[in-house]
C-alpha cells in the first residue's frame, strides 16, 4: 500500500503533456508581435493548468522607456514580453 501511495504522489494527473514548454517557445516565434506572443503564452499556461486541474499565475505590467510596457507572466517559470505602444492600437 505504501508503494501505491508513493507512485501516485510522484506523477501529475493525466501524465506529462508533450507540447507544454515547446509550444510556448514556438508561439513566441510565430507571433506577429510581442502582444500576440504574450496572449499565446497566457493561453497555453491557462490550458495547461486546466488540464492538470490546478495552476497559479501572476501577471505584472510596468511602463518602461518610450511608452513600452513590460509584461511578466509568472507561472512556475517567468515569461517576459515588451509591448510597444503601437501594438495596443489593434
| Confidence (pLDDT) at 32 | 76
Poorest-pLDDT segment among 1-10, 44-53, 56-65, 79-88? 1-10
Asked if residue 26 lies in contact with residue 79, where contact means CB atoms within 8 angstroms, the answer is no
Q: Phi-psi category of 44—alpha, beta or left, where left has phi over 0 and alpha has psi -120 to 50?
A: alpha
Question: pTM for this one?
Answer: 0.65
**C-alpha cell at position 83:** 509591448
Beta bridge partners of 82: 70
The domain ranges of the chain are: 18-88
One DSSP character per residue, 12-44 reads PTT---TTHHHHHHHHHHHSSSHHHHHHHHHHH
For residues 51-68, average pLDDT = 94
CA dist 24 and 31 (Å) reads 11
pLDDT at 9 over 60: no
Q: What is the pLDDT of residues 16-52, one digit of tens each?
A: 444 455 655 555 555 679 999 999 999 999 999 999 9
Amino acid at each position: 500500500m505504501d508503494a501505491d501511495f508513493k507512485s501516485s504522489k510522484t506523477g501529475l494527473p493525466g501524465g506529462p503533456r508533450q507540447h507544454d514548454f515547446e509550444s510556448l517557445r514556438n508561439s513566441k516565434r510565430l507571433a506577429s508581435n510581442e502582444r500576440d506572443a504574450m496572449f499565446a503564452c497566457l493561453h497555453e499556461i491557462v490550458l495547461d493548468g486546466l488540464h492538470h486541474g490546478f495552476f497559479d499565475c501572476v501577471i505584472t505590467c510596468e511602463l518602461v522607456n518610450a511608452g513600452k510596457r513590460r509584461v511578466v507572466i509568472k507561472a512556475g517559470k517567468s515569461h517576459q514580453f515588451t509591448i510597444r505602444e503601437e501594438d495596443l492600437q489593434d
